[in-house]
Structure 1
Amino acid sequence: MDSRDWIRDGLRAVLGGLIAIPLAALNLPLFVLSVATLILGVVPGLGMVLFPLVTQLVRARADLARRIAAGSGVAIARPYRTAPERAVLGGWRHYRWVLTDPATWRDLAWLVPGAVAGVTLGVLILAIPLYGLEGVLLIPLWIWLGTGWYGYGAIWPFSTVGDAFLSLPQGALILSIGVAGAPYLRRCGALFDRLLLAPTRNAELRLRVSQLTVTRADTVDAQAAELRRIERDLHDGAQVRLVSLGMTIGLAEEMVEADPAGARKLLAEARETSTAALADLRHLVRGIHPPVLAERGLDGAVRALALALPIPITVETALPGRLDTPVESAAYFAVAEALANTTRHSFARTARVELWHTGSTLVMQVSDDGLGGADPAGGTGLRGIERRLAAFDGTMSLSSPPGGPTVVTMELPCASFSPKTTPSSGTG
């Protein structure tokens, strides 16, 4: 890691520790409010309104903790059950939904320990670098100005100016340790939060079933749309040409004896029509499963795709072999759609595709130097990529600040490769 990277990450973690202290302290009034409104539940109507309201605040605070944990590399999924239909705030159905959700009680159980851990780690994250900074900046100045007795680090008290200036290397060491260790302390806090804020095993299974239900519906819709596209392309393209071909050949048969020259002309037209029909069918097949993908694998297919696009695209791959055909096809079309977005919407001058395998996941990253500002909700095909990957339990993440660059990272679970290797490797 570059020295600037660990300094930047450390300073960011120190700032996070500063923010973590008041956020953690906020847990305590939320806990008191939750207990108070829960007790007020015995009052008809009042508790049924207040407790769900306070629970929403608690969940917002827990969601904030989850987002902060994600910044430390610790993913914490939301475990909450879906609200029942026709559930209205203040109504019995809504109150029972909040009350019977196990995640409600896990959030409450987290508030006080989370406050203690958050404040403790936040103080440590701040105190160590500040103490190091004190040794670097303040102690020599104080001694130089003649402030008298003082001590720092391993020297208590200072007896000479030399002792005072020995605080400089000690302070630099403590400051470095504090900045370098701050991200790890932040991660410890995130791991602690995950103990109670993450879904239980049953909640994970319930969320998984819900996700698979949505994914299955999206996959079925996508397949139906693809079948309609194929049917439309066949009906409007190849089928029309083949019908015309049959009619032309029939006319040629009738004219072959009476007008041989006209028959030859019709046969020439028939040959052109058959060539166009074949091109339509090849284009249709290419949209279903490109021949280059079957012949050369994902590596070669992506390189061929990059060469066909109007901007320079660098391709780097580190794939040990061939993937299963369905996964390979999904990966290819996901990369193709991402590159299509780049050429159509980003106004990029160059782009880059990187493919690698982490041991259990195929990672595809498409980046460009365009204008940025890409949004999956903007109808630029990113939703289609998400749906295609979701059918294989894959994910997509997007980084596209205004002004660029745009980086689309796609991941597909892929435990193994076949021993057959692709013809091309390295960089392009």
Structure 2
Amino acid sequence: MEKMTFGSRARGALVAAARGLGIAVAMLPVSVLLITFALVSLGLMPIGIGLLTTPAVFGAVRRYATRRRELAEEWGGVRIVAVYREVPEGAGPWGRVVTVLGDPQTWRDMRWLAADLVPGFVTALLPALLVVYGIEGLALPLGLWTVYADDPYWYAFVPVSDLPSATAAAVLGVGFLLLALRYNRTLLLTHFRFTRAVLGADHTELTERVRVLTETRRDAVDTSAAELRRIERDLHDGAQARLVAMGMDLGTIEALVERDPAKAKALLSQARRNSAEALEELRDLVRGIHPPVLAERGLGDAVRALALRMPLPVEVEVELPGRLEAPVESAAYFAVSELLTNAVKHAGGDRIWVDVHHAEGRLRVSVTDDGCGGARIGAGSGLAGVERRLGTFDGVLAVSSPAGGPTTATLEIPCALS
């Protein structure tokens, strides 16, 4: 390992002091304001105002905590895991409040805000204090001691009242600077580790997260097995049966071509139709596994092609400045296909609108129809299958479908664009 030079150590100590000072200066007003707003908002709950303000206030707390996690990883290499409960799409004020206040991570954020006022503030400020106090000690024999009104002025444990005592204080100041040189980065790292201890998700929540991921992966395996069985069944009942029939027809034609040319000609026509139908079924089967347009042109054009095959008018709006990963594209495509099929079969509407866009690291697709409404995600429904498919990628499905319509199904998948 390359040995650090004095210059690199000094730069590291100063950077740690500046970063710690920035955190300390910002945390006091921000933490006090957020705690105050949170308490006031909770106090306004009985009269209904808190139903509107609480999600916004705790959302601000979440964003502030998220920013501190980002700084901990960027400046200290300390990764802080958080598991937040997502507010359901289309939830009302009461639903948002229940989700936010029922989230253990919300109260962990609030506990961290309170802890940040004292131990968090001190651990963030210490690197800067060592540097500033050390510089003050060096400045005392240069005449700074004459400025102080106290006689003597205590610098740490040294009473400064004249030049010799100021010189002794300067020696002590060098010691503080050496401590800063050696320990400033460690002190800032200690602050971030303290933040992780208070702010990070506990073992129970991480275990729950693993359980959810295990279930979604199991659902993905079951779905894949069912898909393979469907493909096998389609091949057996469709193309394979037609090819067998075509082979039998060709054998009969071979026997009749000399004795009954007219009959042989009719059988040839039948064999040609069977071959065309078998080819079409194979194309449909391949398209159902992975549509060529999806592989060649991406999700946007694949959804547009899908819309053209629907019996109802479908308006598609796409805003994707890049390509998604192939598994995400495939999952999103078949989810949209299922949502469109459900809308055509069950909604009883006249038009469908599809909106596809990517923002803030998430793919978001909305499928809206002007039908009768009443759609629900339940066991055995196509929507439940879509939800399981998306769960494999940590995606979610939300359905807003009041009686009388309209119905909007929105899917979100965290992903990046190439």
Short-chain TM bin: 0.5 to 0.7
Instruction: Point out where structure 1 has 5 or more consecutive residues left out of the alignment.
Output: 1-11, 23-65, 81-102, 114-194, 418-428
SS of alignment partner, residue 378 of structure 2 = helix
- Against the structure 1 CA distance between its residues 306 and 18, is the aligned structure 2 distance closer, same or farther, given a 3 Å change threshold? same
State the distance in 2 between where 1:13 and 1:278 align. 66
State the distance in 1 between where 2:220 and 2:292 align. 23
| Counterpart AA for 2:47 | L
State the distance in 1 between where 2:199 and 2:410 align. 24
Question: Is 1:402 aligned to 2:403, yes or no?
Answer: yes
Q: Which residue pairs with 1:352 in the alignment?
A: 353
> Quick one: which of 34, 37, 47 aligns to 1:18?
47
User: Where do 1:170-249 residues align within 5 Å?
Assistant: 200-249=201-250
Kindly state the Cα deviation for residue 198 of structure 1 after the two structures are TM-superposed: 9.3
> Quick one: which of 71, 90, 97 aligns to 2:96?
71
- Against the structure 1 CA distance between its residues 69 and 203, is the aligned structure 2 distance closer, same or farther, given a 3 Å change threshold? farther
Q: Which residue pairs with 1:125 in the alignment?
A: none
The CA RMSD over aligned residues, in Å, is 3.7
| Counterpart AA for 1:411 | E
- Against the structure 1 CA distance between its residues 403 and 210, is the aligned structure 2 distance closer, same or farther, given a 3 Å change threshold? same
Q: Which residue pairs with 2:301 in the alignment?
A: 300
Question: Is 1:377 aligned to 2:378, yes or no?
Answer: yes
- Against the structure 1 CA distance between its residues 296 and 373, is the aligned structure 2 distance closer, same or farther, given a 3 Å change threshold? same
Contact 2:42-2:50 within 8 A present in 1 as well: no
Q: Which residue pairs with 2:331 in the alignment?
A: 330
SS of alignment partner, residue 321 of structure 2 = coil
State the distance in 2 between where 1:234 and 1:343 align. 27
Q: Which residue pairs with 1:269 in the alignment?
A: 270
| Counterpart AA for 1:297 | G
Kindly state the Cα deviation for residue 196 of structure 1 after the two structures are TM-superposed: 12
State the distance in 2 between where 1:230 and 1:242 align. 16
Contact 1:79-1:203 within 8 A present in 2 as well: no
State the distance in 2 between where 1:196 and 1:407 align. 41
Question: Is 1:388 aligned to 2:417, yes or no?
Answer: no
Q: Which residue pairs with 2:288 in the alignment?
A: 287
Kindly state the Cα deviation for residue 292 of structure 1 after the two structures are TM-superposed: 2.6
State the distance in 2 between where 1:21 and 1:357 align. 32
- Against the structure 1 CA distance between its residues 378 and 310, is the aligned structure 2 distance closer, same or farther, given a 3 Å change threshold? farther
SS of alignment partner, residue 417 of structure 2 = coil
SS of alignment partner, residue 407 of structure 1 = strand
1:224-244 C-alpha deviation (Å, 9 max, x unpaired): 111111111111111110111
SS of alignment partner, residue 377 of structure 1 = coil
User: Where do 1:28-177 residues align within 5 Å?
Assistant: 71=96
Q: Which residue pairs with 1:310 in the alignment?
A: 311
- Against the structure 1 CA distance between its residues 312 and 15, is the aligned structure 2 distance closer, same or farther, given a 3 Å change threshold? farther
Kindly state the Cα deviation for residue 401 of structure 1 after the two structures are TM-superposed: 1.8
State the distance in 2 between where 1:69 and 1:196 align. 31
1:78-99 C-alpha deviation (Å, 9 max, x unpaired): 569xxxxxxxxxxxxxxxxxxx
SS of alignment partner, residue 348 of structure 2 = coil
State the distance in 1 between where 2:388 and 2:362 align. 18
State the distance in 2 between where 1:409 and 1:350 align. 17
State the distance in 1 between where 2:347 and 2:217 align. 31
State the distance in 1 between where 2:199 and 2:383 align. 28
1:25-65 C-alpha deviation (Å, 9 max, x unpaired): xxxxxxxxxxxxxxxxxxxxxxxxxxxxxxxxxxxxxxxxx
SS of alignment partner, residue 373 of structure 2 = coil
Kindly state the Cα deviation for residue 15 of structure 1 after the two structures are TM-superposed: 7.6
- Against the structure 1 CA distance between its residues 310 and 201, is the aligned structure 2 distance closer, same or farther, given a 3 Å change threshold? same
Kindly state the Cα deviation for residue 20 of structure 1 after the two structures are TM-superposed: 7.5
Kindly state the Cα deviation for residue 322 of structure 1 after the two structures are TM-superposed: 2.2
Kindly state the Cα deviation for residue 206 of structure 1 after the two structures are TM-superposed: 0.8
Contact 1:78-1:198 within 8 A present in 2 as well: no
State the distance in 2 between where 1:303 and 1:236 align. 30
Q: Identity over aligned residues, as a percent?
A: 51
- Against the structure 1 CA distance between its residues 278 and 322, is the aligned structure 2 distance closer, same or farther, given a 3 Å change threshold? same
Q: Which residue pairs with 2:256 in the alignment?
A: 255
- Against the structure 1 CA distance between its residues 385 and 198, is the aligned structure 2 distance closer, same or farther, given a 3 Å change threshold? farther
Contact 2:43-2:50 within 8 A present in 1 as well: no
Kindly state the Cα deviation for residue 77 of structure 1 after the two structures are TM-superposed: 7.1
State the distance in 2 between where 1:261 and 1:21 align. 86
Q: Which residue pairs with 2:366 in the alignment?
A: 365
- Against the structure 1 CA distance between its residues 198 and 237, is the aligned structure 2 distance closer, same or farther, given a 3 Å change threshold? farther
Contact 1:337-1:385 within 8 A present in 2 as well: yes
Contact 1:313-1:353 within 8 A present in 2 as well: yes
Contact 1:359-1:415 within 8 A present in 2 as well: no
State the TM-score, normalized to the length of structure 1: 0.53
Q: Which residue pairs with 1:148 in the alignment?
A: none
Larger radius of gyration: 2
Kindly state the Cα deviation for residue 17 of structure 1 after the two structures are TM-superposed: 6.1
- Against the structure 1 CA distance between its residues 242 and 315, is the aligned structure 2 distance closer, same or farther, given a 3 Å change threshold? same
Kindly state the Cα deviation for residue 338 of structure 1 after the two structures are TM-superposed: 1.0
Contact 1:77-1:199 within 8 A present in 2 as well: no
SS of alignment partner, residue 375 of structure 2 = coil
Instruction: Point out where structure 2 has 5 or more consecutive residues left out of the alignment.
Output: 1-40, 52-90, 115-195
- Against the structure 1 CA distance between its residues 14 and 289, is the aligned structure 2 distance closer, same or farther, given a 3 Å change threshold? farther
